[in-house]
Amino acid sequence: MENWNLRRRAAVLLGILLLDAAMFGTAMGVMRAETSSEEVRAAGVQEMVPETADAPSFVALTFDDGPDPVCTPKLLDGLKERGVHATFFLMGQSIPGNEALVLRMKEEGHLIGNHSYRHIQLTKAREDSVCEAVEQTEELIASITGERPQYLRPPYGDWNENLECRMNLTTVFWSVDSLDWKLQHTSRIVRRLEQSVGPGDIILMHDIFPTSVEAALQIVDSLQAKGYRFVTVDELLVD
């Protein structure tokens, strides 16, 4: 009986010791956590807070049929003032005599694409002729910039799989048509774009009309004020 009492006392004592150890460990853990937090604050390190700001909305502004000796320089001036890069799909027959404009586009960070040599429906021409026209425009651009364009916008968006297979170019169409060639009225073009453009859109315009240049710069101001950022189509497609 005495042995049993001794064992009972030993068990109770062991339980008390284990409980004390557990409480001591918990207290030490709290102290370590408080010390760590104080050390962080003392070092001037702020705790990470999830960002709540909305990501910027990206759009691509694109221009076909240039370069134009009158309109394109005004457009380039306006884009440079605003820190905006655009994409220019050049018409081969418009390049001779405007080589300085093409070089300026590259030097100022714009993307240069191919718009074939003449503004014709490519699917209605012989495939060999289409390839020759695109190649001719590529060579003109490369002779000025030192780089062959990698992106093609077919006139009228007229394209098919057979042509796709024959050319090592990425075709780029559009998601918002400004109809600037038809409207040729600055405020109407701007109003149409403000009602249509959303994040990720590729905007189709032409740098051969004065009203298009005016509308393009106005829409840049309007969309930038709303938090939009303008990028070239290669940046938009990669993102």
User: Any idea where the domains of the chain sit in the sequence?
Assistant: 1-49, 57-238
Residues 152-211 have pLDDT tens digits of 999 888 887 777 767 889 999 999 999 999 999 999 999 999 999 999 999 999 999 999
pLDDT for the residue numbered 160: 79
Cα(186)–Cα(211) distance, rounded to whole angstroms? 5
The chain-wide mean pLDDT, for the chain, equals 81
pLDDT for the residue numbered 165: 65
Q: Which CATH superfamily is domain 57-238 in?
A: Glycoside hydrolase/deacetylase (3.20.20.370)
Find all residues with CB under 8 Å of 200, minimum gap 6, and list them. 57, 58, 59, 175, 236
Catalytic positions: 64, 206
Q: How far is CA 213 from CA 32, 74, 111, 209, in A?
A: 65, 7, 17, 7
Query: Would you say 118 and 64 are in contact if contact means Cβ atoms under 8 Å apart?
Result: no
What string of DSSP letters covers 79-107?
A: HHHHT---EEEE-GGG-TT-HHHHHHHHH
- Predicted model pTM: 0.75
Query: Average of pLDDT values for 8-25?
Result: 44
Query: Would you say 66 and 72 are in contact if contact means Cβ atoms under 8 Å apart?
Result: yes
- Residue 8's pLDDT band, with cuts at 50, 70 and 90, is very low
Residues 134-163 have pLDDT tens digits of 999 999 999 999 999 999 999 888 887 777
